Chain A
Amino acid sequence: MVALNVTTLGKGRWGWLWWMFGAIVIVASTIYLLLFLYGGYLHGEKYATEDAVAYIESQKLTLADVRGDNLPPPPDAADTTLEGVDQNLNGIRDDVELAIFEMYPDDAKVRAAELQYAKALQLELTNWIFNEETFVAVLLQGSRGHSCVYDTGPEVNLSMSQEEVEKRFAVGDGRVEEVENLVFNTEKRKQKRDEVYGKYMTSHGDSEGPDCDIDLSVL
């Protein structure tokens, strides 16, 4: 029986072989460990992304929002936070929500469309965006809101004159701009938007399903 003499390991004629074996084991272990950690990171991010996208896509306007069942009080004017105040927790910043209600107290269609767009844009100011996938999810929500607002404009068809078409589309353009100005109303918020776009803007697909969360024809 031959006992392993640890005191002579790596020594002698075949000692270099032990050293090489040891080095390979160490390198392989290190690589495995790094890949393991990286894979874990990716794995974690994958699920975090899925959760975030699911949340973003779940952000829909409700009839209660349109009716103003739970309108918040005017927010503190001194609030300078990025996300602002959303006391009634409906995803629409309170100052924006109140401004839209004030502008369109008797027009539920426009109110609904603008609230939906405002809600989507507000997502750009939150931490739900942390990679391209979550950003695109927010973009598509915004795209739906944008289209919904546009749908509140006068009917347009290509048999109309350019002047008439321009005049009619200007209504939708104005409402879109109205909401964007309300949501991105401070330099800080504008910078945040630019920053998010700068980091994550990418080619992307189209949203699916109807533009408006609430069928405007029922309002």
Chain B
Amino acid sequence: MKKIALTAILLLFPFQTWAGCSADGYTVIYVNGIFTSQAQAEAEQKLLQDKFEDSTGRSDVVFLSGYNPSHLAGGGDLLKSIQQAYRDEESYIDDYDLQTILLKIAPDVKTRKILLFGYSQGTFYTNALYHYLVANGVPKESIAVYNVDTPASYVAGDGQYLTSATDMLIYEVRRKAAFGGAKQPLESNILIPPVVENPVPPYPGHSLKNVYLPKATVRIISEVNTALESLEAGESTDEACFTPPPLSTDYKIKQAGFSLFDPAAEGIRTGTVYAYKGAKLVIDTAQSGLNAVGSAIRSLLPPANTATAIDAFDVVRNVYGSSLTREDLEELNSSVPSVKAKQEQDSTLYPYMGAVEETAPSGPDNENSDNLERKNVGEVLGEFIAIDPPPPPPQFQPMSPNGALVGGGGGGTPIQESAPEPEPEAVVEEPTPEPEPIEETPVSELSITTPTENESIATTTATIMGTAPAEALVEISSGSTISYVTAGDDGSWTADIIFDEGPVSISVSAFESVFNATTTLTRAFSITLPCEIPTPVVVQGNQTWSAENGPYVIDGDTYFRQGDLTIGPGTIVKFMSGAVLRVHEQVELTISGSADSPVVFTSLSDDSQGGDTNCDDTATTPAPGDWGYAIFGGGGGALKNADVSYLTVRYGGGVETSTSNDGTFYPSLAVIYDKASGSPKSYTLTGVKVSDSAHIGLYAYIADTYALTLSGSAFEGNAEYGLYRGRVVKNGNNVAGSLTATDNWWGDESGPYHETLNPEGTGDAVGPVPLQSEKIILSPWLSSTPF
């Protein structure tokens, strides 16, 4: 008797229940999508759990797996999910898989606070679970739903969700659901760049493991964490957290049926299945006695309530990327020996089918099956899959009387939601078409209206506009940058994209699905920002000027009194009218131009250097004396250090300066080495080119024992002097330092003109006549420019 009792207990109560529900702690129940392998579903749940725990540091959350299995090698799920999309949420409370999840998790749910985390088709279940749990013992304030990549039209309990605009599966659901009249999935609310290195065919962007969890980790975990924190527990109780559904006889029959039928569809086990041609599968009870399986299969096929159910099946198969390939179907055809199809006139359940012709039995195995047509699972599924969507009836109106029309296909004919009335008298035999590969059908409605070809846009944020099939996903690529935007109901789309200044070429494609892309359009335009004169330099701390950030503009009298001034190769410094740059005293100056990329000091009007910086196009041209001068040293002190090479100075000399000995003069560049206590005793200027000065090119004031060496430089086109040596008199004594200016170019191979040292020279002049104590060496000079 004990064994009998044990048997009875095991039969009636195989699922243990645990009494008690704690106000402490949290439970996250993860429900996977379909066409996810069992191992994949488990891996996703592990990843979610580990990422959550590692990034939050929480250990008070228990993660449960609410496993959502596939049936009929995924084929059953297609039917089921389309029904879920078409029906209200409460309709699935009797779903076999929902019941299974509830029964299985019941003993493990031990906390009052519950978060249901759904992915893809699993989000239909999290929504349904929410409704069930709230109706069966879980307070609303202690349960929440978080759905990722949801094809559902809502999140139960006003929960949050995350769907990427680049998720092609959801995009496909949206489009096809509109076509079939089902409720639209929620709008995308994040844009996750496609995972180029590991795409998930056939729906890039659709993967919890490879896309959402790695690419939106922070957002998902943060929102889940916030949702958990928002839950209110109430009091702990000694009762179970919720009441699981009863373990009914019907459930057990379905369970037995699936245990036999699912393996059959997987090709592991063969079986006998009869298929009603009206999309209703049953088992031949007379032959196999497996009416339990028939019951189970029927449970996957709730009555269709739409005229487009068969289309929807095809749609969903495409949408969910069935792992059941056409090759699988063919294999199933050969591995499942006897599946029979029986016509059933059932216009109530399948009004779109109308009356169906009874097919005469054929083949050797159907002696006992009148009105049965031999088919196998593969054929049955293949039949569904191969059926093309029915064309829109010509009598369709733009809108139904109740306004419940939805437009699809980019402004195409709206599809009426209500089903056509069945025609009971009609007799139609539907042949089983050969499965055909999914074809890529170009869509021709793509256009780019803005910008026009070769248009110049005066901002770095360009507005790209155009048209595409309604609700198509528009991909705009420029180089390696890809942006996505979804076209509206009217097919219009707009994207604001930031580009660098200069010429831009974009490619635009639109996707109605991954299999249904438009041809690609290209558009060339340019980003040309309005000209603005750069803000003049403001001296503040150490400064490093570079070619990339130039040109720099000097306005007025600009002083560097301390710190470092470093000017890199190719840097352009432009001077406004009368501007002066003083680098005095304790400044460490480094000008590190190069032969190919010298540092240039020039007029703001000099468009040949750094472009049209003064924004006047060609209205002004540079001229000698446009600006004042740059002076290194002097002002009561000397530079801490000066490392100057390859500096070009042009069009200066427009502002007077003075010394006590020389009075006023107008240099472009002045070098003052005086009072340089602690500073190097000698300096070398190399690669300096001074030209087009209004008066003096380089004014050099070298005092006491200091020495300046000037070589590899050029002086030409300076109006009065290429080089002028300042006179140094202290306490009535001339105390000039040393100036060596050999190996320079003076604009003529005859060398510089100097009244006493080279009176025959016709190049730029050097002055004045040196006093006896003044040392200046000019020879030898270069016979050609070093630049």
Task: Tell whether A205 pairs with B217 under 8 Å between CB atoms, given A38-B7, A143-B46, A165-B55.
Answer: no
Residue in chain B with minimal CB distance to A31: B4
Q: Are A197 and B39 in contact (CB under 8 A)?
A: yes
Residue in chain B with minimal CB distance to A157: B55
Which residues of chain A are near B57, meaning CB under 8 Å?
157
A156 on interface, CB distance cutoff 8 Å:
yes
Interface of B is mostly: helix
Which residues of chain A are near B47, meaning CB under 8 Å?
173
A40 on interface, CB distance cutoff 8 Å:
yes
B442 on interface, CB distance cutoff 8 Å:
no
Q: Are A162 and B42 in contact (CB under 8 A)?
A: no
Contact with B along A157-187 (1 / 0, CB 8 A): 1101110011001101100000000000000
Q: Are A151 and B54 in contact (CB under 8 A)?
A: yes
A188 on interface, CB distance cutoff 8 Å:
no
A180 to B634, CA, bound (A): 74
Which residues of chain A are near B51, meaning CB under 8 Å?
150, 156, 169
Residue in chain B with minimal CB distance to A208: B62
Q: Are B64 and A205 in contact (CB under 8 A)?
A: yes
Which listed segment binds A: B103-111, B134-142, B483-491?
A: B103-111
A42 on interface, CB distance cutoff 8 Å:
yes
Which residues of chain A are near B108, meaning CB under 8 Å?
204-206
Q: Are A203 and B101 in contact (CB under 8 A)?
A: yes
A218 to B759, CA, bound (A): 89
A60 to B214, CA, bound (A): 30
B236 on interface, CB distance cutoff 8 Å:
no
A169 to chain B, nearest CB (A): 6
Residue in chain A with minimal CB distance to B192: A162
Residue in chain A with minimal CB distance to B222: A158
Which residues of chain B are near A204, meaning CB under 8 Å?
64-65, 67, 104, 108
A172 to B46, CA, bound (A): 12
A145 to chain B, nearest CB (A): 10
Residue in chain B with minimal CB distance to A190: B39
A114 to chain B, nearest CB (A): 15
Which residues of chain B are near A197, meaning CB under 8 Å?
37-39, 42
Q: Are A172 and B215 in contact (CB under 8 A)?
A: no
B247 on interface, CB distance cutoff 8 Å:
no
A8 to chain B, nearest CB (A): 36
Task: Tell whether A201 pairs with B67 under 8 Å between CB atoms, given A40-B3, A147-B53.
Answer: yes
Which residues of chain A are near B53, meaning CB under 8 Å?
147
B221 on interface, CB distance cutoff 8 Å:
yes
Q: Are B56 and A158 in contact (CB under 8 A)?
A: yes
B266 on interface, CB distance cutoff 8 Å:
yes
A139 to B42, CA, bound (A): 8
Q: Say which residue of B4, B49, B69, B101 sits within 8 Å of A147 (CB atoms).
A: B49
B461 on interface, CB distance cutoff 8 Å:
no
Which residues of chain B are near A151, meaning CB under 8 Å?
54
B90 on interface, CB distance cutoff 8 Å:
no
Q: Are B7 and A42 in contact (CB under 8 A)?
A: yes
Which residues of chain B are near A36, meaning CB under 8 Å?
3-4
- What's the interface size class on A, roughly? 35 or more
Which residues of chain B are near A156, meaning CB under 8 Å?
51, 54-55
Contact with B along A120-150 (1 / 0, CB 8 A): 0000000000000000000100110011001
Task: Tell whether A198 pairs with B266 under 8 Å between CB atoms, given A147-B50, A203-B66, A204-B108.
Answer: yes
Q: Are B107 and A205 in contact (CB under 8 A)?
A: yes
A143 to B63, CA, bound (A): 11
A210 to B65, CA, bound (A): 19
Which residues of chain A are near B37, meaning CB under 8 Å?
194, 197
A134 to B217, CA, bound (A): 32
Interface residues of B in 210-241 (CB under 8 A from A): 214-219, 221-222, 225
A43 on interface, CB distance cutoff 8 Å:
yes
Which residues of chain A are near B69, meaning CB under 8 Å?
201
A139 to B104, CA, bound (A): 15
Which residues of chain A are near B268, meaning CB under 8 Å?
198
A153 to B50, CA, bound (A): 11
Which residues of chain A are near B225, meaning CB under 8 Å?
158
B275 on interface, CB distance cutoff 8 Å:
no
B713 on interface, CB distance cutoff 8 Å:
no
A33 to chain B, nearest CB (A): 11
Q: Are A165 and B218 in contact (CB under 8 A)?
A: yes
A54 on interface, CB distance cutoff 8 Å:
no
A155 to chain B, nearest CB (A): 8
Residue in chain B with minimal CB distance to A204: B65
Interface residues of B in 62-115 (CB under 8 A from A): 62-67, 69, 100-101, 104-105, 107-108
Q: Are A203 and B46 in contact (CB under 8 A)?
A: no
Q: Are B100 and A203 in contact (CB under 8 A)?
A: yes
A105 to chain B, nearest CB (A): 26
Task: Among B10, B54, B55, B215, find the residue whose CB has the most chain A CB atoms closer than 10 A.
Answer: B54
Residue in chain B with minimal CB distance to A151: B54
Task: Among A46, A153, A156, A193, find the residue whose CB has the most chain B CB atoms closer than 10 A.
Answer: A156
Task: Among B50, B57, B107, find the residue whose CB has the most chain A CB atoms closer than 10 A.
Answer: B50
Which residues of chain B are near A170, meaning CB under 8 Å?
214
A202 on interface, CB distance cutoff 8 Å:
yes
Q: Say which residue of B4, B49, B66, B67 sits within 8 Å of A35 (CB atoms).
A: B4
A153 to B7, CA, bound (A): 49
Residue in chain B with minimal CB distance to A200: B38
- 18 residue pairs from A and B, CB less than 8 Å apart: A32-B4, A35-B4, A143-B49, A147-B46, A147-B50, A151-B54, A157-B55, A158-B218, A158-B225, A160-B218, A165-B217, A165-B218, A169-B54, A193-B39, A201-B42, A204-B65, A205-B107, A206-B64
Task: Beyond the given A157-B55, A201-B67, please list 20 additional residue pairs across the A-B interface where CB-CB is below 8 A.
Answer: A38-B7, A39-B6, A40-B3, A142-B46, A146-B50, A147-B53, A151-B54, A156-B54, A158-B56, A161-B218, A162-B215, A165-B218, A172-B50, A173-B47, A198-B266, A203-B65, A203-B66, A204-B64, A205-B62, A205-B105
The 4 closest A-B pairs by CB, nearest first: A205-B108, A39-B3, A197-B38, A203-B104
